Amino acid sequence: MFNGSRKYSPLPSSLSSSRTSSSSSSSSSFSSFSLPAAPRRSPRALQRHSSLLSQYSSLLESYTEGEIRQLISALVERYSQAMNSGGHELPLFPRAGSRRKRARARHKPCTLKELEVSVSELGLGYESDETVLFRYCSGTCEAAVRSYDLSLKSMRSKRKIKKEKVRARPCCRPLAYDDDVSFLDAYNRYYTVNELSAKECGCV
């Protein structure tokens, strides 16, 4: 018969000490363990914003004041057309790839090029289906900049020259013209046009 109360004998000292030491060692190991700190990095939005600003600033340095005004008006017109047509996904600024292509195209030297067009496409008021070889000048004149161009650009930036329409850098233009061009219009009338196509190009 049991007398209603049970006495429990304490654990042996060796076992209790082993449990105590294991718990203390586990707690000390958990307390000493810590995760390595993750390296910090700047937000990508700020990096992208700074790179875009540097790209646009370097791009606009090569433009004159009049060209910058034309660029701004063209961008505003493009944006208003996009908003009126509901094309909200149309970007206000072109992509970076197209900007690089235009930048490379702007630094091509002044050369003579040709294009086969009809007489009606020349915009001289003639109606004819005959085709002619139209030669034109294309390219930049960065290497042909003289002291005159640099001084004129400085005078414009300081607003010493305000109202006159002047160009502060040389332009790729024809130095000589090709032979006269003759053709028949849609009514069998014979015409001759002089100084139509370029023969030689240069920076003037």
Q: Buried (b) or exposed (e) across 131-146, using 16+ Cβ within 10 A?
A: ebebbebebbbeebee
Higher pLDDT, residue 155 or 85: 155
What tokens does 73 get? Answer: 């008006």
Q: Please write the tens of the pLDDT for every residue from 108-154.
A: 899 999 999 999 999 999 999 999 999 999 999 988 888 988 898 88
Looking at residue 11, what is its pLDDT?
Answer: 47
DSSP letter at 132? E
- Amino acid identity of residue 66, one-letter, is G
Q: What's the pTM?
A: 0.46
Segment among 140-144, 182-186, 195-199 with least mean pLDDT = 140-144
Looking at residue 120, what is its pLDDT?
Answer: 95
Average pLDDT on 142-168 reads 85
Average pLDDT on 185-198 reads 95
Q: How confident is the model at residue 195 (pLDDT cuts 50, 70, 90)?
A: very high
Looking at residue 23, what is its pLDDT?
Answer: 46
Looking at residue 72, what is its pLDDT?
Answer: 84
Q: Please write the tens of the pLDDT for every residue from 53-69.
A: 666 666 667 677 777 78
Q: How confident is the model at residue 15 (pLDDT cuts 50, 70, 90)?
A: very low
Looking at residue 73, what is its pLDDT?
Answer: 81
Chain-centroid distance of CA 199 in Å reads 34
pLDDT at 27 over 60: no
User: In angstroms, rounded to a whole number, what is the distance separating the alpha carbons of residues 110 and 136?
Assistant: 10
Average pLDDT on 175-204 reads 95
Q: Which of 18-22, 70-74, 100-104, 132-136 has the highest mean pLDDT?
A: 132-136
Q: How confident is the model at residue 6 (pLDDT cuts 50, 70, 90)?
A: very low
Q: What is the total residue count of the chain?
A: 204
Q: Please write the tens of the pLDDT for every residue from 70-82.
A: 888 888 888 777 7
CATH no., domain 111-143+170-203: 2.10.90.10
